[in-house]
A and B are shown apart, each in its own frame.
Chain A
Amino acid sequence: MSVRHALLALLSEGPKYGLQLRQEFEARTGEVWPLNVGQVYTTLQRLERDGLVESEDAADEGPQKGFHITEHGEVELTKWLRTPPDFSSPPRDELVIKVLVAFELPGVDVHDLVQVHRRYLVELMQQWTRLKEDESRFDLHFALVVDAELFRLDSLIRWLDTVDGRLKRAAAGVSVPAPQSFPLPKARRKVGAPE
């Protein structure tokens, strides 16, 4: 998560103080990612060093010191908003690695292992869903954060379901190509990376 760019975005609405930036950051992110005030000031100092923001009044160094975005900051913000995060290569997902490793181990029932992880993920989803129940305290920002988390956990569960299905088909003798049969050396490179 880029605190740096989130602060730039808040400053693009007009000049703000450090404390105000912290409060607005937490409100906009559904208060799921708390930010300490030290982090806000360190980030603002770096933004100022890089010429992306300027302090309003050099004489006042206290919490009332205001900041505004520079023209260079506006350009940087627009660029950041429109640049997709790097999803081109698969992350080193610990869950995926655990399951892949388990395939090779004698005495490990992969269905059981998958179920342990599935149950944990469903329990986490239940907790997030519980937060949605009371719509009165469920503002739009928080709703979007909770939805993102639910979809992320759900995608992992779907993957576990697929693992179960593929294993079952393989055990029943339905042909499933082994990974070795299509080594695809190019696929090891980043998908979408320039040739």
Chain B
Amino acid sequence: MSYLELRDISKVYGEGAAEVRALQRVDLSVDAGSLVAVMGASGSGKSTLLTIAGSLEDPTSGEVYVGGRALSSLSRNGKAQLRRQSIGYVFQDYNLLAGLSAVENVSLPLELDGVAARKAQSAAMESLDDFGLKERASHYPDQLSGGERQRVAIARAVVGGRQLLLADEPSGALDSTNAEAVMRLILVACHRGMAAVVVTHDAQLASWADRVIFLRDGRIVDQTLPVDSPEAMLTKLPNQ
């Protein structure tokens, strides 16, 4: 059952000679529990795809369904509520609030959604604990390493039983060990039933996905076949 569905999405910026077609007739569906990576060069439209999927921006045409609900049928407030309750975002530069501790950063979206402060804090603590950050809960972003900041950002994106995780170059500035740790956490979130979309130009990141979609000049041009199980893969190793 797909949790996120993009149907015939186009996005045009500007008019006339300045017109830019950022996305052209894009169809994409992402099931609960699966991780889809969208690969493409800068300017291919991948970030636009993510902002439209996350209801941060409206498409010029086409329809986005999140959890079966058409975004065009929701009011501004309805979309804001959907974002707070169902969608988690992870950005390249973490977007943590500098004046809040790790646990406050994670509990903030819950509190904004009306969850009582104490309950929000305990859910945030649980989420940080899941990602091995319990000891860092009272630290401020500038006291955390890049890898830890991104883990806090992921804890914030999944807290409160959200169902859709959207990540834009989530390991952008991290070294390969930390990048792998980030992808492992995103995968853990998927195994717990979240649908996730990661947009990236990095093949190492994309290779964690169940399916990789290739975007060029705003169009989906190709996608990978389903991945074999590890067992099937081991039998394919070269024999001498």
Residues on A lying within 8 angstroms of B by beta carbon are 32-36, 39, 111, 115, 118-119, 121-123, 125-134, 150-151, 153-154, 157-158, 161, 164-165
Contacts and interface: CB of A to CB of B under 8 A. Distances in A.
Given A33-B238, A35-B240, A126-B209, A161 B214 contact: no
A157 B222 CA distance: 15
Contact of A123 (B39, B180, B225, B239): B225
B235 to A, nearest CB: 11
A151 B207 CA distance: 12
Interface string B15-39: 0000000000000000000000001
A39 B207 contact: no
B228 A130 contact: yes
A12 to B, nearest CB: 24
A170 to B, nearest CB: 15
Interface of B: 39, 41, 180, 187, 201, 203-204, 206-209, 212, 214, 216, 221-225, 227-230, 233-234, 236-240
B105 to A, nearest CB: 28
Contacts of A157: 203
B207 A115 contact: no
A111 B216 contact: yes
Given A121-B203, A134-B230, A150-B207, A126 B212 contact: yes
B221 A34 contact: no
A122 B201 contact: no
Which of A32, A130, A153, A157 counts the most B-chain CB atoms under 10 A from its CB? A130
B203 A119 contact: no
Nearest to B233: A127
Contacts of B230: 130-131, 133-134
Contact of A122 (B180, B207, B229, B236): B207
5 contacts: A34-B239, A111-B216, A121-B203, A122-B224, A131-B234
A118 B214 contact: yes
B233 A131 contact: yes
A46 to B, nearest CB: 17
A122 B212 contact: yes
A125 B203 contact: yes
Contacts of B180: 132
5 closest A-B pairs by beta carbon, nearest first, are A125-B207, A129-B207, A157-B203, A126-B227, A127-B233
B224 A126 contact: yes
B208 A36 contact: no
B212 A39 contact: no
Given A115-B221, A115-B222, A119-B214, A125 B240 contact: no
Contact of A119 (B204, B222, B227, B238): B222
Contacts of A131: 230, 233-234
Nearest to A31: B237
